[in-house]
Structure 1
Amino acid sequence: MIGGGVPMPTCVSGVAAWRPTRLLLAAGAVLVLAEAWFVVGLTRPTPQLVSWLAMPPAVGFAVLACWTTSAAPDLAPGARRFWRHIGIGMAVIGLGGVSNAFDTILGYVAPQHVSTLTSAIYMAGLLFILWGLLRIPGAHRSRGEWLRFGLDTATVLVTVITFAWHFVFQHWERWSGGNTTGTWAVLSIVATGAVCVFAFVKVAFTGTGPLDRPSLYLLALAGGAGATGGALTPLLTDRPYLNGTPVVLPLTCFILCLAADRQRRAAGVEPAAAVRRERRPFVPYLAVFATGMLLLADAADQGDDVFGVACGTVVLVLLVAARQAAALRDNAVLVDTLDSRLRELEEYQQTLAWQATHDALTGLANRRLLMQYTGETLRTGPVAVALIDVDDFKGINDDLGHAVGDALLSAVAARLSQLRPDGGLVARLGGDEYALVFRTDDEARARQVLAELTTELRRPLDAAGHALVVEASIGLALSGQERQERQERHERHERQERQERHEQQEQQDPVTAEELLRRADVAMYEAKAQGKGRRVTYEPALDQHSAEQARTAADLRVALDTGQLRLHYQPIVRLSDAQTVAVEALVRWHHPERGMIRPDLFIPAAERTGLIVPVGQWVLTEACRQAARWRDELGALEYVSVNVSPRQLREAGFAAQVQATLLRFGLHPRHLTVEVTETAVFDGGSGLEELHQLKRLGVNVALDDFGTGHSSLGLLRTCPVDLLKVDKSFIDNITDQGERSVIAEALIGISDGLRLRAVAEGVETQAQADVLLRLGYRYAQGYHFGRPMPAEDLPAHLNAAHPAAVG
């Protein structure tokens, strides 16, 4: 509260609702008494001393109001300093009033005049206020703006002095009594007050910084009241006992108290931003017009000759001003057009800069920004880079369309952005690949972040109205791992000198952003090779593995073109008599230099590079070709089983390719069985639809490695299965009568109940075969009945007496 007044009420529209304080009421009372005494003095002579009594309390209230406002707790520092300047300036003006009263009452100067000392004190107070105004923070001006402000100020000065001279001081001789020093002092004070008024208004229009704009208008009104009152002083020459200062100063002080109160109520409220509109310089034209009219009015009494010259002069000046105004208007239009073009260019540049560093679909950083950020972060500390690849995204695109695929990519981007650690960066590298970069040197912490990320990604994502659950393969690389690599490299050197040289080179060539991303990429592909939803941390050994896979993939492409691939066939037997009833086609690769390459080495490389599709097509073609040859030779074979990879199954038109292959060799669909793993169809999609089409063609469908997936039983309701191949892991220890035996027995019960054929895989002993037959299995496959063999060896195998018949 101010002056012991009531607390401020709640805010209305950002500024506390107004209620007069005790200080304002006191200042108003002083003003009323001063005005009333002045009115009395207009009717009859009054003692001069009484008229000056209102001046000290009025000034004191104004100074107290300014100082109290400057101490408001929420006031900005710049505004606090400004109100202290106003308070000090008013205190100085109050001292001037005391000096003026002293001079007048004691008769040191003529009535209604001002001594040189008093004029200097008044001028000092006004200049101090003006200086505080021009130091307002946020109202910074260029050199050109200062020049225009100075010219406008000079224009105001000349105009005010001219009008004051004409209307008020034209009878100075009678008022001043020859005291030209006091006369010019009053004129200077009036002119300085006018400049203060102009400066307050100018600042209020062009930018107030931390000040309240209405407060500045009130300050301008206070200055105007003071300047006007001083200018009207010569009009009181017929009443020498009256003086304008005792009545004008209380009015000025009261308005200043209002301004300070308004500023205090607005403390802590963000000032409204000034609307930056280009304003025409109306002050010079208004001054020219007004002075011209004054000149014409004065010249009208001086004769036709003087009046004519004055008219011509005024018209010429107005024409020049109009010509300049038109030029300024044209320039303003050009400047506005240029500003508009510059703004458009700046926006376009910002758009281009954003597009150069961000992904258009998701709004995430792109590879360029990722590399820049990672490089900058590496220079300040350890970094973890995770490469994230959405599993089976192509199937979603094929099944639900690209619009849903794009929506899913955006949803994944939003989820990753929410989960990124503080200070981290998420980027989209293209397709369904994302990268996450964050600061850490703790592998356990990095793994925890990725584990949480994997868990959250498994929560349903809304993609264009579809609730989708995604898995992601993640590769992690840490910038601190180069130390381990460096040490391993050193250990391979035999001589100490070479070790030291290598260490120096490694220290001068630390890990880079590109290298970290490459390592994360290697780890990510290893995670995909291990299955869906896996996380792998980069290790130096992965580089060798990745290089071997790349070499294997390159050689595999050559093998396809040069006929290095072969098919071997493993018998599938009927347990009751060990008779071979079908065969499974298994691809083998005999490299001319590396010899026989195991499928577990080249199949992952084929999956990673996409070669699994042409390899799978070759296997299908060769198996159907061989089955057609055996059709008459080996009548006992019911079907040939062919493994189909998930990627191959999701290829558009796979069922049509199978149908075309069967027609090509004249093979009936029932003589072909397509084996798929649970992971190929557990999430539905195009792969499941292709299986339904194969089923409609009459092709048998086998579910391979049954029992190892987490959705095996659910698949039996959605997948068109004819045959279950029970995984080897349930057969290995079946003779021990433990959990494996219980599961194997349960699986045969399920298959019988659903009228499905069950084949036990991986049978290696006669004892296992006996147990399986006792449990109800009718078909089996494994080394006990025959290893995979070339096609030419199968007839001899079938004709030989098989020793593995079950009794």
Structure 2
Amino acid sequence: MIPVTRPMPTCVRGVAVWRPTGLLIGAAVVLVVAEAWFLVGLARTTPALVSWLAVPLAVGCAVWACWTTSAAEGMAPGARRFWRHVGLGMVFIGLGGASNGVDMLLRLVAPQHVSGLTAAVYLMGLVVMLWGLLRIPGAHRSRGEWLRFGLDTATVLVTVITFAWHFIFRHWETWSGGNTSGTWAVIAIVATGSVCVFAFIKVAFTGTGPLDRKALYLLALAGGGGATGGALTPLLTDRPHLNGTPVVLPLTCFILCLAADRQRRAAGVEPPAAVRRERRPLVPYLAVFATGVLLLADAAAGGDDVLGVALGTVVLVLLVAARQAAALRDNAVLVDTLDSRLRELEEYQQTLAWQATHDALTGLANRRLLMQYTGEILDAGQDAVAVALVDVDDFKGINDDLGHAVGDALLTAVAARLECLQLDGGLVARLGGDEYALVFPTAGEQHALHVLDTVAAELRRPLDAAGHALVVEASIGLALHAGDATAEELLRRADVAMYEAKAQGKGRRVTYAPCLDQHSAEQARTAADLRVALDTGQLRLHYQPIVRLSDARTVAVEALVRWQHPERGMVRPDLFIPAAERTGLIVPVGQWVLTEACRQAARWRDELGPDGLEYVSVNVSPRQLREAGFAAQVQATLHSVGLHPRHLTVEVTETAVFDGGSGLEELHQLKRLGVNVALDDFGTGHSSLGLLRTCPVDLLKVDKSFVDNITDRGDRSVIAEALIGISDGLRLRAVAEGVETEAQAGVLRRLGYRYAQGYHFGRPMPAADLAAHVRAAHPATVG
């Protein structure tokens, strides 16, 4: 076997030079020797055996070239499979050549004829190659394309058979020798080879997939050479010692080796993107034209095979007509498809136009349509216009507690409720999340407020959200057109008013006033500075004593955050906590407070001893409590600083757990950890008593408003007495807040209160001062 080496391109003065492989050189040598021996045979009689020796050598080169190409590095899977098919087909052709040689050398068939077995083996090789070609990924076609491909193939087949019949018919007596089967075998081989040539060229034109296009052209050339050589076999009838196979097969194998080499060199190289262009089907019309000319020429010469040529011409005309009908049908389908696509495109454009101006979830107008509508009203000169922003309170809690499906259903129900309002030509829009906008004509502020009261009342009626009857509150901001505002400015003013309403509490409505801009700007500036303060260590913790009334002993402390601004000095919590709540900074601020308070409590356990302080109390905002995994964060913080859970108390307001859900579940998890839970500002909410049944409370902090006038023995005193009775009955610890005088402390002691905090016992102070305060008050028990 001739060794194969991968062709290595070299560069001569910057130009890549291709060098042939040893396999190509060997195939070329076999070809030259075979052709030279054939020329000698034309001049004189030569031993037939010598010419047939070139067949196995040439086929061996071709098979080996196909195999090495299929195994080349970087070859695509489809190309590997194709070249294996070609190699297998050459194996069959080689076996056919061997069978043909045996038939000729042993004179088992007439000269220039092939036996049925030899023809079958030849045909098997061609069919395997054709099957491999049709299986390449680039050859995948629609049913209509396959039909046209089949009709074109049949056209080529009939044309080749017609011409072969006409050519052979002239030499029928001298060549066939009565062996009709051998004659038809040669015709079948020639016709199949021609079909292969057509298929290779067709695929090269319409899409090669992973195959190299030039390699396919070389394969088509190889097939064309084989088919042509087979067709010229009758010319050798007067030289029985010669045969076309030892001449044609080495040529075919050499060209096939060139194709394999080309494919191997192109392996791993990304082919250029093929642009499929609809080409005019010239082959069928050329076939009809050629056979028509042949028919006319044969008829003019008075040939005996006119009937056969005419029959072939008729068949060709029918095939072309069938192809034309198939093409017309495909065109009709294409036109119908195009019409359908145009209708779909029009519907899609309408859908896009609707989606561009409407909210996908609720079907309401979106911000874009809202601004367009408001601008058109203002441009029309209508000044009595109101814009209101409606924000659903505590929507995040509903989403977290009941799931996003219920949340979406609630948003849709709110949208439907708002759409039912009669806004006299106004517009309802959803701006995103739980925020809606209303634009409507108004007769003045009182009329606009009346409309918003109606909106609030409608939303307070139970809404059906995926089977849940929900009652919602909304914060509403109102902006009235003052003659100088654009649509964007009106919406901005309504937004400022809405955020002011949220800052004041649930279910509020606020009308925009210029002073709100200053307040909003201050809050935005405060939030930005607070972010810097959190990152640069400007926050401080002060601690207010919680004392036992019987002996004024400090038993616990409440951690209170303070902000030492480098320019503004000490910023009060009531100035920056609302900004933190609005922007979400309350979550990282709250986590910082929790960590620092727990760390300080652990230090006091070491510094003051086990009898120093029972616990440190930390305020937790509703937003912080509803963060997923809050209880786990508390547990991790306690573990990191080495503080036992019983030495921590978290204070929550009634609003944080009023609706139950995730916030209440986090409290239950904290309770299971051993953390104490305090209900802050107890008695000021409308659901306090109900919360005591559901909330895992250990401690009640009675609001300062019930302590302020407790010495007057009025309503406040009665409420304070009732609250201590409730806490004692439920075995809860009660802490009275805001105690400022000894008289208040005395009344609380008589009512049964055991714990209190307030300025009377100590103001909030830094950690170092608190430790000194505890030591000074009780030097014998701490230290």
Q: Which amino acid aligns with 2:348?
A: Y
CA distance in 2, matches of 1:423, 1:527: 26
Counterparts of residues 87-166 of structure 1 (less than 5 Å): none
Contact 2:604 2:612 in 1 (8 A): no
The answer on 1:743 being equivalent to 2:719 is yes
CA-CA distance at 1:342 after TM superposition = 3.9
Aligned: 1:439 with 2:441: yes
Is the Cα contact below 8 Å between 1:420 and 1:436 reproduced in 2? Answer: no
Given the alignment, which residue of 496, 504, 507 partners 1:530? 504
Question: Could you say what secondary structure the match of 1:419 adopts?
Answer: coil
In 1, are the aligned partners of 2:358 and 2:369 still within 8 Å (CA)? yes
Q: Deviations over 1:338-392 (max 9, x none)?
A: 6544432321111111000000011010000010011112232321111111111
* Partner residue in 1 for 2:244: none
Residue by residue, what CA displacement relative to the aligned partner does 1:142-168 show, whole Å, maximum 9, x if unpaired?
Answer: xxxxxxxxxxxxxxxxxxxxxxxxxxx
Match of 1:598 in 2: 572
The separation in 1 between residues aligned to 2:762 and 2:391, in whole angstroms, is 41
Query: 2:587 matched to 1:613?
Result: yes
Instruction: Name the SS for the 2:350 alignment partner.
Output: helix
Letter in 2 for 1:668: H
Name the structure 2 match of 1:722.
698
Query: Which residue matches 1:693?
Result: 669
> Corresponding residue for 2:541?
567
Over the residues paired in the alignment, what is the CA RMSD in angstroms? 2.0
1:630/1:339 Cα in 2 relative to 1: closer, same or farther (>3 Å)?
same
* Contact kept in structure 2, 1:420 and 1:426, CA below 8 Å: no
Distance 1:674 1:446 in 2: 43
Distance 1:347 1:586 in 2: 61
2:735 matched to which residue of 1? 759
Quick check: 1:800 aligned with 2:750? no
Deviation at 1:329, TM superposition (A): 12
Partners of 2:335 and 2:777 in 1: CA distance: 103
Q: Which residue of 1 aligns with 2:374?
A: 374
2:338 maps to 1:362:
no
Q: How does 1:622-641 map to 2 (within 5 A)?
A: 622-634=596-608, 635-641=611-617
Q: Which residue pairs with 1:413 in the alignment?
A: 415
Secondary structure at the counterpart of residue 343 of structure 2:
helix
Residue 671 of structure 1: which of 647, 662, 665 is its match?
647
Change (3 A) 1:736 1:334: same
8 A contact 1:573–1:581 mirrored in 2 = yes
Deviation of residue 685 (structure 1)? 1.1
Query: Which letter maps to 1:688?
Result: L
Q: Distance in 1 between matches of 2:550 and 2:334?
A: 99
**2: CA distance, partners of 1:447 / 1:743:** 36
Q: Is the 8 A contact 2:553 2:777 kept in 1?
A: no
Alignment partner of 1:426: what SS? strand
Q: CA deviation at 1:700?
A: 0.4
Say if 1:384 and 1:416 are closer, same or farther in 2 by CA, change over 3 A. Answer: same
Q: Is the 8 A contact 1:655 1:691 kept in 2?
A: yes
Q: Give the deviation of 1:334 after TM superposition.
A: 8.7
Query: Quick check: 1:580 aligned with 2:554?
Result: yes
Equivalent residue of 1:359, what SS? coil
Unaligned runs of 5+ in 2: 1-327, 779-783
Q: Distance in 2 between matches of 1:572 and 1:329?
A: 93
* Structure 2 residue aligned with 1:387: 389
Deviations 1:426-460 (A, max 9, x none): 11111111111111141111111111211221222
Q: Describe the superposition over 1:433-489 as per-residue Cα deviations: whole angstroms up to 9, x where unpaired.
A: 111111114111111111121122122211111222222111111112x6xxxxxxx
- Would the alpha carbon gap of residues 636 and 407 (structure 1) be closer, same or farther in structure 2, given more than 3 Å must change? same
Report the Cα distance in structure 1 between the residues aligned to 2:353 and 2:448, rounded to whole angstroms: 31
| Counterpart in the other structure of 1:555 | 529
Output one character per residue of 1:398-433: Cα deviation in whole Å (capped at 9) or x when no partner.
122111111111111111111251211111111111
Counterparts of residues 201-350 of structure 1 (less than 5 Å): 340-350=340-350
Correspondence 1:428-577 to 2 at 5 A: 428-480=430-482, 510-577=484-551
Distance 1:729 1:455 in 2: 30
Alignment match, 1:790: 766
- 1:533 is paired with a residue whose SS is coil
Provide the TM-score with structure 2 as the length reference.
Answer: 0.56
Deviations 1:207-259 (A, max 9, x none): xxxxxxxxxxxxxxxxxxxxxxxxxxxxxxxxxxxxxxxxxxxxxxxxxxxxx
Cα contact 1:650–1:687 (8 A) shared by 2: yes
Query: For 2:658, which of 660, 678, 682 is the aligned residue?
Result: 682
Structure 1 Cα separation of the partners of residues 332 and 612 of structure 2: 98
Report the Cα distance in structure 2 between the residues aligned to 1:788 and 1:420, rounded to whole angstroms. 54
Residues 751-779 of structure 1: per-residue CA shift (max 9 Å, x gap): 11111111110011111111111111111
Residue 359 of structure 1 aligns to which amino acid in structure 2? Answer: D
Q: Give 1:333 deviation, angstroms.
A: 8.8
Shift of 1:546: 0.4
Contact 2:392 2:435 in 1 (8 A): yes
Question: Structure 2 CA distance, aligned partners of 1:731 and 1:741?
Answer: 8
- The answer to whether the 8 Å contact 1:725/1:758 transfers is yes
Give distance in 1, aligned partners of 2:636 and 2:658: 27
Amino acid at match of 2:429: A
Q: What is the rounded CA distance, in whole Å, between the counterparts of 1:749 and 1:420 in structure 2?
A: 51
Please tell me the residue identity of whatever aligns with 1:464. A
One-letter code aligned to 2:471 = V
Q: 1:755 to 1:335 in 2, by over 3 A?
A: same
1:351 counterpart = 2:351: yes
Contact 1:723 1:759 in 2 (8 A): yes
Q: Distance in 2 between matches of 1:704 and 1:331?
A: 79
In the aligned structure 2, how far is the partner of 1:446 from the partner of 1:332? 62
Q: CA deviation at 1:735?
A: 0.7
Which letter maps to 2:763? R
C-alpha deviation, 1:633, in angstroms: 2.1
| Counterpart secondary structure, 2:510 | strand
Listed one character per residue, the Cα deviations across residues 622-649 of structure 1 (whole Å, up to 9, x for unaligned) are 0000000001222321100000000000
Aligned match of 1:424 in 423, 426, 431? 426
Mapped to 1, the partners of 2:676 and 2:449 lie a distance apart of: 43
CA contact (8 A) 1:675 1:703 kept: yes
Per the TM alignment, residue 703 of structure 1 is displaced from its structure 2 partner at its CA by 0.4
What SS class does the counterpart of residue 585 from structure 1 fall into? strand
AA aligned to 1:357 is: T
What letter is aligned with 2:711? T
1:404 aligns with 2:406: yes
Partner residue of 1:20?
Answer: none
**How far is 1:801 from its partner?**
4.0
Q: 2-side partners of 1:742 and 1:520: how far apart?
A: 44
Q: Does structure 2 retain, via aligned residues, the 8 Å contact 1:384–1:441?
A: no
Quick one: distance in 1 between partners of 2:422 and 2:728? 50
Contact 1:523–1:537 (CA<8 Å) still a contact in 2?
yes
Paired with 2:548 and 2:728, the residues of 1 have a C-alpha distance of: 16
Q: Is the 8 A contact 1:762 1:783 kept in 2?
A: yes
Q: Counterparts of 2:594 and 2:370 in 1: how far apart (Å)?
A: 43
1:441–1:478 Cα contact (<8 Å) kept: no
How far did 1:663 drift? Answer: 0.6
How far does residue 558 in structure 1 lie from its aligned partner after superposition?
A: 0.3
- Matched position secondary structure for 1:789: coil
Paired with 2:614 and 2:331, the residues of 1 have a C-alpha distance of 94
Q: Name the SS of the counterpart of 2:627 in structure 1.
A: coil
Q: What is the one-letter code of the residue matched to 2:526?
A: T
Q: 1:612: Cα distance to partner?
A: 0.2
